[in-house]
Amino acid sequence: MDHPNVHSLEHDLVPAAAAGDREARRELFERFRGPAYQVALRVTGRHEDALDVVQDSFIKAFDALAVFQRDASFKTWLLRIVSNRALDVLRARRVRLAASLDAGPDDHATTPTPVDRGAPAPGDRIENAELAERLASAVEALPPDQRAVFALYATGELTYGEIAETLGVPIGTVMSRLYHARLRLKERLKDLETPA
């Protein structure tokens, strides 16, 4: 949760950044890149994509500061841009994947190369990596609207109200999407539950 002085600092930085003050822009970037990255990573599931999304989102936000409505929080406005851009990246990835799956052997489609994850670690590290991969896969399988809500919620940075403002939906919709996302995740990961 933000502290009151964060809002007053944000109130001073945003107009300065809109006027082209590089130091104000740098300060906004430093202050909000962490939450932006967390949202982008949770939505895209990939470090490289998340970095690209954050960079694109800050560029878009800085270019649009002149039209930013000051009655909203810069943070929620920025995270809405991040969330939308991350969903665009996710949609584009699915389109590319579908196109590569549709390509026949004569289409000279390139086969995806497995990601080199380095040397396998012993014991718990392998188990934790497998668990993280299963969870990431389950989150990636969520419908985009549920995934966006889950990603924003899972960062721990935003309240339900801020998530609603970020996505431009009512709080009830946020709660419903989060509920259904949790149900889907629980179903996909039910074999990991320990018996009571």
SS3 55: helix
* Average pLDDT over all residues of the chain: 79
Q: How far apart are CA 115 and CA 117, in angstroms?
A: 6
Radius of gyration of the chain, Cα coordinates, nearest whole angstrom: 19
Q: How far apart are CA 85 and CA 142, in angstroms?
A: 17
Which of 2, 135, 175, 157 shows the shortest CA–CA distance to 83?
Answer: 157
Q: What tens digit of pLDDT does each residue of 128-163 get?
A: 667 777 777 888 889 989 988 988 888 777 888 888
Q: What tens digit of pLDDT does each residue of 50-71 get?
A: 999 999 999 999 999 988 877 7
Both tokens assigned to 74: 């810069």
Instruction: Give the CB-side neighbour count of residue 42, counting CA atoms within 13 A.
Output: 23
What's the one-letter identity of residue 133?
Answer: E
Task: Determine contact, residues 73/162, Cβ cutoff 8 Å.
Answer: yes
pLDDT in tens, the chain (196 residues): 444 455 667 778 999 999 989 999 999 999 999 999 999 988 888 898 999 999 999 999 999 998 887 777 899 899 989 988 988 887 777 665 555 455 444 444 444 444 444 444 455 556 666 777 777 788 888 998 998 898 888 877 788 888 888 888 999 999 999 989 988 988 888 887 665 5
Query: 4-102+122-192 has which CATH code?
Result: 1.10.1740.10
Both tokens assigned to 35: 């939450």
DSSP E strands, the chain: none
Please indicate, yes or no, whether the overall pTM of this predicted structure exceeds 0.85: no
